[in-house]
Amino acid sequence: MDRTIKYDGVEGFIARLMDNYDVIAPVPREDRFVFDLLTEPSGAVMEYGTTLLPPVKWIYRNNEPLLKFDLEDIEKTKAVIDVRQQVLLFVHPCDINAINIMDEVLAEEPADENYLAIRRATVIIGYECLTPCREDTLCYDKGCHYADRGYDVIFTDIGSGFYVRVETGRGKEIVGGDPSFRKAVYDDRIALMLRRDEGGLRFGRAVAGEMGKLSHLLKENYDDDIWDVKGERCLSCGACNIVCPTCYCFDTVDEIGSDMREGCRYRRWDGCQLEGFCKVASGENFRDSAAARIRHRVFKKEVYLKKRFGRSGCVGCGRCIDSCMAGISIIDIFNHIMEKRHA
């Protein structure tokens, strides 16, 4: 059963959530927003542009411990998973869709148990977008400005307060027992429909052409000049990888404690755009040009993941465009490829 909540009831709800969970919410940081651990219920903001890093990075964390070992006795080595009960609060639909993709990719056998255990302990409270959060996104092209699953509950602003759609049993527990919510009635649902209809009109396409043909067109244009053109500008800094809500490549790193005996192996984010990503110990670099690396990133999202999982790995959040110091835009690349159909 869906619920509603008044604007002034939200802070109390967050305070009660904080009693039971680590609450990770969008908060202002300088002139931008980040997902961070809340210390005050009033710290969370509901209206925010895309955050610097996507919320999934609180599930697929950097420096995630994988193993603990003892150099004196390696028979004692054990796998570890650092699980905390956490809530990701006010997650935008693009980021919810990204988490859905990560769930699918990382559950494929052999599964990533660390991710899955932390994911299971993570409550997701969505916040529906009724207007684009900024320019240079392609969430609408990707159909990811809206999420139909992947959250426990999702808030939508209906003018008089928020409509709260309850999707899971866990979501029902969280809002069902909370005094700020009341049951949604017919008028609330009508208000929700109207709001959504209005909201839908505010979104527009960034890419000209039929997205369903993108994967095919990319394959046809594997050897196109666009990769060299973008490759010449690319700084191979890997920022696009780190901000991407569906990039999950990693490396491992061992650290030894100050006792020089006990240590931990961590997972550390890695990026396919970095120059040495495919370099083997003998010195051979199997993807040694920025052009080939950019192509790989685009193909991974639009061709390889699509073939394996039946859907694109890009949710159109636009973070890679925003973070690129060289001004490389995935929208430009897609538009260029889409034009190729007429060539």
Partner 1 sequence: MSLSAGGYGQNMLPVAATITGIDRLTDKDCVFSIRLSKGGILRFRASQFVILSLFGIGEAPISISSSPLDSEKSFELCIRVVGNLTRAVHRLSVGDKVGIRGPYGNGFPMERIEGRDVVIVAGGLGLAPLRSLIRHVIHERDRYGRVIVLIGAKRPQDILFKEDILLWEANPSIEVHLTVDVAVPPWDKHVGVITKLFRYVDVDSLNAVAAVVGPPIMYRFVVSEILNKGLFEGNIYLSLERRMRCGIGKCGHCQINGIYLCQDGPVLSYMEARKLKEAL
Q: In terms of CB distance, is 287 or 336 closer to partner 1? A: 287
Listed in sequence order, the DSSP H helices in the chain are: 10-20, 93-107, 113-120, 169-176, 186-202, 214-220, 226-233, 239-243, 290-299, 305-309, 319-323, 330-339
309 lies in the site for partner 1, by CB under 8 A: no
SS3 category, 214: helix
288 lies in the site for partner 1, by CB under 8 A: no
83 lies in the site for partner 1, by CB under 8 A: no
Among 1, 201, 281, 343, which residue sits at the site for partner 1 (rule: CB under 8 A)?
A: 281
Nearest approach, Cβ of residue 308 and partner 1 (Å): 7
279 lies in the site for partner 1, by CB under 8 A: yes
114 lies in the site for partner 1, by CB under 8 A: yes
Please give, one letter per residue, the 3-state secondary structure of 111-135: CCHHHHHHHHCEEEEEECCCCCCCC
Among 40, 173, 232, 251, which residue sits at the site for partner 1 (rule: CB under 8 A)?
A: 251
Instruction: Name the token pair of 29.
Output: 């940081």
Cα four-point dihedral sign 66, 34, 126, 272:
negative
SS3 category, 188: helix
Residue 97's CB is within 10 A of a number of other CB atoms, namely 27
66 lies in the site for partner 1, by CB under 8 A: yes
Pairing state between β 86-91 and 122-127: parallel
| Angstrom distance (rounded) from CA 27 to CA 42 | 10
190-229: which residues touch partner 1 (CB under 8 A)? 222
186 lies in the site for partner 1, by CB under 8 A: no
| Angstrom distance (rounded) from CA 231 to CA 331 | 16
Q: In terms of CB distance, is 186 or 286 closer to partner 1? A: 286
The site that binds partner 1 (CB under 8 A) totals a number of residues, namely 52
CB-based contact 81:118 (threshold 8 Å):
yes
Total residues belonging to the chain: 343
Q: In terms of CB distance, is 110 or 212 closer to partner 1? A: 110
Task: Considering only the stretches 42-50, 144-152, 209-217, 276-284, report the one whose residues sit in contact with partner 1 under the rule CB under 8 A.
Answer: 276-284
Task: Considering only the stretches 42-50, 90-98, 196-204, 298-306, report the one whose residues sit in contact with partner 1 under the rule CB under 8 A.
Answer: 298-306
84 lies in the site for partner 1, by CB under 8 A: no
- How open is the CA angle 115-116-118, to the nearest 5 degrees? 65
Q: Closest Cα partner for 214 from 318, 336, 319, 343?
A: 336
Among 159, 170, 173, 304, which residue sits at the site for partner 1 (rule: CB under 8 A)?
A: 304
Instruction: Name the token pair of 171.
Output: 């979501």
Among 15, 278, 326, 331, which residue sits at the site for partner 1 (rule: CB under 8 A)?
A: 278
**Is 293 buried (19+), middle (13-18) or exposed (0-12) by CB count in 10 A?**
buried
110 lies in the site for partner 1, by CB under 8 A: yes
Q: In terms of CB distance, is 15 or 67 closer to partner 1? A: 67
Nearest approach, Cβ of residue 146 and partner 1 (Å): 29
Among 231, 250, 332, 335, which residue sits at the site for partner 1 (rule: CB under 8 A)?
A: 250
Q: Closest Cα partner for 340 from 223, 232, 231?
A: 223
Among 37, 80, 190, 325, which residue sits at the site for partner 1 (rule: CB under 8 A)?
A: 80
Binding site for partner 1 (CB under 8 A): 66-67, 69, 71, 74-75, 77-81, 106, 108, 110-117, 222, 248-254, 256, 263, 265, 270, 272, 277-284, 286-287, 292, 296, 299-300, 303-304, 307-308
